[in-house]
């Protein structure tokens, strides 16, 4: 486990290109892999949250108020796609994570996580629907998972969606803030990693420990907003919000307890101690943590050829930190951190590697941007 201060190299401050900062269009920004540039692919997105590339290179983007759009190669936005479930768009709630079915080219199935309005409150839910050939509508949309119990809160929904190599779907869900102790209760879905089949059923190899709800993979999580599969091992890695400090990188494994709120490297927002300390038998340690917090969000492993020296690095967007963190890895170890885009001046909500081997980012703003990071010319 490594802390924030154990850094490989110097973080590179990147400025925005084009629409955001025209005067900086020709400026080069250093990083450990050479000079970089950041350019705007599209603007006019209201608090964009999740990004997924279609097979033809266009991009699906979720907007937290409840809209799903396609962004084409020229950066043009489609009209909102119809058939998206109604969302509770308050606080941290709204339309959140997105994933394409591993067999999307054949079945055109799209999976969305969202804050679902319910009687007595709300909760994180997952729906799937079929994107029509015109890209204008989701058809046959239905909810395949509902986090239970329902809670009246506008906070801590998670939620990222990641398919594993068996075709099962990981769903990250928060503990809803007011119910943090329930992250230790394996009988409910608060503060857990969920693993389901694409139709919402339960995989045969889920832990299914005594007292555990059958959909639960691991417990003791606070609010996981970043998740990605390691490209070599297929292991799930997650980026998890702490309170004041204690943001974590974890590799959640079946049937294990990741400690929240019993153990943490952070303190409460008031400065008060949380739980029993930083370690306890039977509870897992993070691979890496940040103190002070950067508020980590979307995460992606790098596998491209544009920056070969960054192979298997985990890139994590930061909200409070307004930066892009690159974590170098070796097996299940984080060996160092490089901070990029430290003067970008925007909350980075998601990071995805494109089919061109470049990095694509979403900024969490009322006039949110889809950005592309490339080598500077």
Residues tagged active-site? 156
In 10 A of CB 234, how many CB atoms? 10
Q: Which of 222, 277, 227 is nearest to 251 (CA)?
A: 227
Tokens 């079929």: give the residue.
130
* Contacts of 52 by beta carbon, 8 Å cutoff, 6+ apart: 59, 60, 98, 99, 100, 110, 352
In 10 A of CB 135, how many CB atoms? 16
Torsional sign, CA 90, 92, 93, 97: positive
Task: Reduce the DSSP state of residue 353 to 3 states and report it.
Answer: strand
Question: Could you give phi then psi for residue 111, rounded to 5 degrees?
Answer: -115, 135
What is the chain's length?
377
Separation CA 103–CA 179 (nearest Å): 37
Separation CA 53–CA 41 (nearest Å): 14
In 10 A of CB 27, how many CB atoms? 14
State yes or no: cis peptide before 28, omega within 30 of 0. no
């Amino acid at each position: 486990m490594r802390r924030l201060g154990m850094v490989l190299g110097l973080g590179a401050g990147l400025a925005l290109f084009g629409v955001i900062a025209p005067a900086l269009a020709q400026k080069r920004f250093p990083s450990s892999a050479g000079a970089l540039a950041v350019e705007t692919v599209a603007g006019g997105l209201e608090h964009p949250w999740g990004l997924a590339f279609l097979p033809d290179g266009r991009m699906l983007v979720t907007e937290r108020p409840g809209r799903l759009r396609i962004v084409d190669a020229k950066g043009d936005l489609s009209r909102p796609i119809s058939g998206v479930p109604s969302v509770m768009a308050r606080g941290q709630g709204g339309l959140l994570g997105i994933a394409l079915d591993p067999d999307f080219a054949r079945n055109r199935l799209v999976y969305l996580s969202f804050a679902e309005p319910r009687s007595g409150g709300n909760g994180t839910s997952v729906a799937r629907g079929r994107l029509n050939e015109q890209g204008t509508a989701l058809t046959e949309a239905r909810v395949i998972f509902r986090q239970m119990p329902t809670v009246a809160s506008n906070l801590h929904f998670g939620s990222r969606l990641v398919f594993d190599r068996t075709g099962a779907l990981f769903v990250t869900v928060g503990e809803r803030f007011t119910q943090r102790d329930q992250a230790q209760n394996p009988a409910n879905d608060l503060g857990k990693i969920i693993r389901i089949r694409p139709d919402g059923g339960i995989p045969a190899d889920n832990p299914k420990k005594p007292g555990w709800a059958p959909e639960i993979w691991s417990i003791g999580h606070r609010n996981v907003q970043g998740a990605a599969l390691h490209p070599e091992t297929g292991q799930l890695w997650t980026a998890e919000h702490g309170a004041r400090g204690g943001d974590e990188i974890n590799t959640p494994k079946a049937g294990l307890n990741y400690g929240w709120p019993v153990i943490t490297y952070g303190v409460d927002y008031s400065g008060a101690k949380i739980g029993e300390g930083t370690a306890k038998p039977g509870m897992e340690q993070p691979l890496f943590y940040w103190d002070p917090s950067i508020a980590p969000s979307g995460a992606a492993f790098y596998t491209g050829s544009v920056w070969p020296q960054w192979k298997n690095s985990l890139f994590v967007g930061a909200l409070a930190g307004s930066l892009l963190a690159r974590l170098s890895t070796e097996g299940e170890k984080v060996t160092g951190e490089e901070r990029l885009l430290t003067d970008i001046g925007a909350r980075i909500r998601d990071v995805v590697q494109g089919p061109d081997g470049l990095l694509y980012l979403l900024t969490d703003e009322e006039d949110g941007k889809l950005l592309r990071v490339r080598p500077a010319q």
